[in-house]
């Protein structure tokens, strides 16, 4: 655990926004995340932002089979670390922003649950929205998106993504204390964003071209 903390801290010093946490997730927080995965679970469990593997370990300990688990990690050092640490688990080097493409390339479907340690609160709103939209594009209606946060409010904009979500557990034995949120897309709901994910382009008169950019990505 000390080795993991040192590695995460070193990487955080280089890129605080992308790593998002100075310390590794505690075993209590990791177990609280793993508890939210449906049992039995029919499909793949995709972990976003595996970091040093605290949540990966808890997911395996909770009964998720190694061949059922897929970890997506963007940092090459952490990707290598996770691959060596969990040889039976598929660890993909990639960005959660491109989740559907990444999973399609590796023929990973259906996805029964997403478990995310991504530092959503330190990301721009547009990136949060994009990650949320991509995640719900691969999840079946009703399937959970499980996310921890150190913040007081929802780490995903529920209304804009057309999803429901609430705090399922609060974990005080973590530095800092965290909440575990579980989001899902109601059955029968077609995802639609009310505003575009990108800033609309403007022409040389400062006016938006009509129609073209009004659709959600």
Cβ proximity to ligand SAM, 54 vs 70, nearer residue: 54
- Integer Cα distance of 15 and 6 in angstroms: 14
The distance from CA 77 to its chain's CA centroid, rounded to whole angstroms, is 19
Asked if residue 54 binds ligand SAM (CB under 6 A), the reply is yes
Cβ proximity to ligand SAM, 42 vs 125, nearer residue: 125
| Spatial contact of 36 and 182, defined as CB atoms under 8 Å apart | yes
Hey, which residues between 177 and 206 contact ligand SAM (CB under 6 A)? none
**Of 196, 209, 201, nearest to 126 (Cα)?**
196
Asked if residue 47 binds ligand SAM (CB under 6 A), the reply is no
The site string for ligand SAM over 13-32 (x = CB under 6 A, - otherwise) reads -----xxxx--xx-------
Q: Which of 34, 114, 118, 171 binds ligand SAM (CB under 6 A)?
A: 118
Q: How many residues does the chain have?
A: 217
Would you tell me how many other CB atoms lie within 10 Å of the CB of residue 49? 23
Would you tell me how many other CB atoms lie within 10 Å of the CB of residue 161? 22
What residues line the site for ligand SAM (CB under 6 A)?
8, 18-21, 24-25, 48-49, 51-52, 54-55, 72-75, 78, 95-97, 117-119
């Amino acid at each position: 655990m000390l080795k993991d903390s040192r590695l995460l801290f070193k990487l955080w010093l280089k890129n605080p926004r992308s790593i998002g946490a100075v310390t590794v997730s505690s075993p209590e927080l990791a177990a609280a995340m793993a508890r939210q995965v449906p049992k039995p679970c029919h499909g793949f469990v995709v972990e976003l932002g595996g970091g040093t593997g605290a949540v990966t370990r808890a997911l395996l300990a909770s009964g998720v089979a190694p061949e059922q688990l897929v970890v997506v990690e963007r940092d090459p050092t952490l990707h290598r670390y996770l691959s060596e640490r969990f040889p039976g688990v598929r660890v993909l080097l990639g960005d959660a922003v491109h989740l559907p493409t990444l999973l399609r390339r590796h023929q990973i479907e259906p996805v029964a649950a997403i478990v995310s340690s991504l530092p959503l609160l330190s990301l721009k709103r547009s990136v949060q929205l994009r990650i949320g939209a991509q995640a719900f594009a691969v999840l079946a209606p009703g399937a959970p998106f499980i996310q921890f946060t150190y913040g007081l409010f929802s780490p995903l904009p529920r209304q804009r993504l057309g999803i429901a979500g609430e705090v399922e557990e609060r974990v005080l034995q973590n530095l800092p204390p965290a909440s575990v949120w579980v989001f899902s897309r109601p059955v029968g709901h077609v995802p639609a964003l009310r505003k575009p994910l990108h800033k609309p382009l403007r022409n040389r008169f400062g006016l938006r071209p009509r129609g073209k950019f009004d659709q959600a990505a």
